[in-house]
Amino acid sequence: MSDNEEEAKVISPPYTRTAAEEAAIFKLKANFEAQRANVKPTIRKTFIVDELTFEKKFLRCPVCVESYSEIVRPPKILPCHHAICLVCLVQSFHCEALFRKNLHLGDLPAAVTIICPKCCIHFISTEEGLQLLPTDHRIIQLIDFVQYASRQTINFCNNHKDYPLNFFCELCGILVCRDCTSTDHKEADGHPVIDLESVLPKYLPVLDKAMSDIESEKETLQEKRKAVDTAIEDMEQAQDTVVKEIHESFEKLRALLNEREKEICEMAESEISVAKRKLKDKKELIEKRKEDLQGRSESLKAAKETGDAVEIFKVQKEIKEYKPIPPIKIPGVDDGMVTKFTFTSRDENVLANRIKNFGDFVSQTESTVTTKQDSTTTTSTTSYESSRYTPTRAYSNYSAYRSPYTGSYTRSYFRN
């Protein structure tokens, strides 16, 4: 640039808006903000499609009917704008190339004719050209859309195949479609029909209340079960205690019976031993008398056998001077009196009946009532006899016995 041109350049001063222009710009901004505030929010619509039908029509290769994949089976756009997966295109290329080779008996051709399976348009391409075909990114985006879209199962009417079950008949308790509400489930015929979306808000509170009541009842039953378990444990302890007391009581009776039995046995042994001792003394006296007589008899026989007059005279003199000994009297033999020993079970029947009815088992129930008044808890306990076990027997007679120690009377009943 020459010096004259540099001198000719004019530097313009910075532009400054006027007050009217600033007011106009402020007005335009205010109007824009007002219009944007009045714009209604965009209504997002939800469209429902059959996933299998949508996938079969748009997301599967029409040749192999396999799902497209961005890496394994990318959808390639043909010149006719139809899409086929790259695997099928390569296989088609190899088949056509092998056919051409066999037809001309030459080498494999570098390029072959590919036919679109949808519109039958022909185009020539090499294998590398098939690899370079553009990928249909619309299909890839649809695959991502289907993968991340929310799924909902929709049931269709059996009578009207093309209509979903969007309504609920409260009288029949079944799902119905739009056409069913005008045929078999008319509100004029007493079939109240509500929208399917209104069913849950209407009936869920009832279920929630029922579930709450069930949980409350379960908690109550759990508390009662714990109380029953505690009562069972208490009864087991009470059973052990009562059985122990019963055993102790009957052990005392057995001890008294054993002591009495021992005492009576000792009395019997003592009495019988004295009588036996007397009889043994009589037996010894008899044996002694018998030996004395045997001696005299032998001396008489010896004197008689010898025939010595002096000895016979001496013996007969001793016989004349012999004073007879009184006979031995044995009670029970001479007088016919026999001593017998027996055991008299005095009051055996009375004792047997008393023992059979000895003791009693009584169960008592305590009723505990807890009341709350003015933050004060009052507990009252009422005890009453709930059951009593007494052996069922028929008695007709009884005897009364007055204890000398306590002065109380005891009745003993005799069973028929």
Mean pLDDT by 10 residues, the chain (416 residues): 45 63 83 74 62 85 90 91 92 89 80 89 89 90 82 77 82 86 84 83 85 92 92 90 90 89 89 86 84 79 74 72 65 64 80 81 66 50 48 44 43 41
CA atoms within 13 A on the CB side of 304: 7
For the chain, the 3-state helix, strand and coil shares in percent, each to the nearest 5, are 50, 15, 30
Per-residue pLDDT tens digits for 141-154 = 888 888 877 667 77
Per-residue pLDDT tens digits for 67-98 = 998 888 999 999 999 999 999 999 999 998 88
* Residue 112 CB contacts under 8 Å (≥ 6 apart), including other chains: 93, 96, 97, 100, 124, 125
Dihedral of the alpha carbons of 57, 60, 66, 72, in degrees to the nearest 10:
-170
Domains detected in the chain: 51-148 (3.30.40.10), 344-366+379-416 (no CATH)
How far separated are the first and last CA of the chain, in Å rounded?
156
Radius of gyration of the chain (CA): 66
Distance in angstroms (rounded) separating the CA atoms of residues 222 and 34: 65
Helix (H, G, I), strand (E, B) or coil at 335: coil
Is the pTM here over 0.75, yes or no? no
Helix (H, G, I), strand (E, B) or coil at 21: helix
Dihedral of the alpha carbons of 382, 385, 386, 388, in degrees to the nearest 10:
170
Distance in angstroms (rounded) separating the CA atoms of residues 143 and 135: 13
In contact, 64 and 101? CB cutoff 8 Å: no
Distance in angstroms (rounded) separating the CA atoms of residues 416 and 353: 11
